[in-house]
Amino acid sequence: MWLQVVLAIIFGSLYVSWYVWNKYSFWQRKGFPYIKPSIPFGNIGDTVRQKTSLGQCLHELYKKSSDGIVGIYLFFRPALMIRDANIVKNILTADFEYFYDRGVYCDEKNDPLSASLFAITGHKWKTMRSTLSPTFTSGKLKNMFPTIKETATELENHIEKHANAGKPIEMFEVCARYAVDIIGSVFFGITVDSINNPENTFRQIGRIAQGEKLSVALRSLTLVLVPKLAKIFRLGFMPPFVGKYVINLVKETIEYREKNSVTRNDFMQLLLQLRNTGKVSANDETWKTQADGNNKMMTIEQCASQVFLFYIAGSESSAGTICFCIHELCHQRNLLDEAQREVDEMLRRHNGQVTYDNIGELPFLDKCINETIRMYPGLPLFNRMCTKDYPIPGTDYVIEKGTPIIVSLLGLQMDPKYFPEPEKFKPNRFDKGNEDFVPNAFYPFGDGPRNCIAQRMGKIVVKVALVMLLSKYDFHCMESDKPHELKFKLSTLNLSLLDDIKVKVTPRKTTMLGDTNKSAANGKIWHGN
């Protein structure tokens, strides 16, 4: 008996040793440069132990190597980190056919909320992408613009109360409420008013999804890095009550509109077109659709998964961009003055009106936004799955089918090889025709066929808020606030602040328009039924 136990222990130990060696020698055997892993978390131990976020962990791994391609380990799973900007460009664009899937968790049958455009694969992704693309044309966005502007007016009014009272404002929190209100109105077709009622259920759902609990961190890691394990253990994209709430909310909205023939210029209305006809009207002025109760092209669950994607992907990233941009401008008064001067001049040309067309006349503000999302990308990493063997051009390496591909966006965009003095906020590095950076290293919205489908919407949301705030207010750093000394949540995949940025806000004394009260933000805008 004792002999059997001893032999079992010996052989068990030998097997475990062989298994660990076999897994952690994978890149060495394949001839790839690699970063030495540690048992049992591979190269992401600091993230699992809650010492750093995944985005920051991958950034540190990026800095440990000088190779364009380097092997890493996600627990026991081999993956390749791509550090060469030209190879990244090829993967996303010219050689997209080898990398068209993300390789993240998706379980449409048991977890319908997970089956968003971000996660679905193959032909199903291609069909959904081509179906949804017409929802973000210039004409469609222009029709949604009044809703965005109306919400920005509420943001401006809220900040005015703090400015008049001389109170500092927690910039990220208020910008997050603004972004959530826009998502609620434009994508879900509901009025939320998180700006004035921050404890509403819709806002709380976002807080749960972006929470700081260890369970949130482990779920996020597993869904992205070990999706097969997530599927086996039915971890779920979100806690069950979140999925139930979102699906019921979408169901109620769709049923109400179909029953009462309600038409509204928003994304939900375009989903209704898809659901009832299988396509979005090419006519940007056509929003109404005839409901057909017998032939639905999209289920309620499919509609819910798409709108919830924009909630998760858009709320904190848009809020962060607004907040980080103001944070950086506060620390360089000359840049803040230049941005305000440009906004004032644009408003003077257009009688104080902010429109879809004239916010395109702000090249310096565009550069400020680009520099912000370079330094603070909403999602600091992106991944792909190699779907067939890929010989890397100009090398002897072959990426085998099934290999996870990781790109540290923070790594690329903070690399002095690609962006001189990357730690400095320098909007003018984006001067057209005189760019002071390597374009192939700038991917805040990805690139190629699988880039962010809503990137133009995201920029509009950010830009309208900045235009309306910069036109009326001055922003001042708190004495304790220092640039680039920000701390981020450890539990989320996106770059989300741990401690908010407090900013002093004061009404501007003079503008190019004269009286600041003539700002274009004044007044409500009716946006249809």
Residue environment code for 377-397, b if the CB has 16+ CB neighbours within 10 A, otherwise e = bbbbbbbbbbbeebebeeeeb
Q: Is the peptide bond before 483 cis (omega within 30 degrees of 0)?
A: no
Burial class (CB in 10 A: 0-12, 13-18, 19+), 263: middle
- 452 annotated ligand binder: yes
Three-class SS state of 169 = strand
Residue 259 φ/ψ region, left for φ over 0, alpha for ψ in the -120 to 50 degree band, beta for the rest: alpha
Query: Strand 77-82 vs strand 404-408: parallel, antiparallel, or unpaired?
Result: parallel
> Is residue 410 a contact partner of residue 443, using CB atoms and an 8 Å limit?
no
Alpha carbon of 339 to those of 163, 344, 437, 442, 519: distances in Å?
Answer: 20, 9, 21, 22, 15
Contacts 24+ apart (CB under 8 A), 247-251: 247/112, 247/113, 247/300, 247/301, 247/304, 249/188, 249/190, 249/202, 249/304, 250/188, 250/300, 250/303, 250/304, 250/307, 251/300, 251/304
Which amino acid belongs to residue 69? Answer: I
Q: Tell me the binding residues.
A: 452
Q: Tell me the binding residues for heme.
A: 452
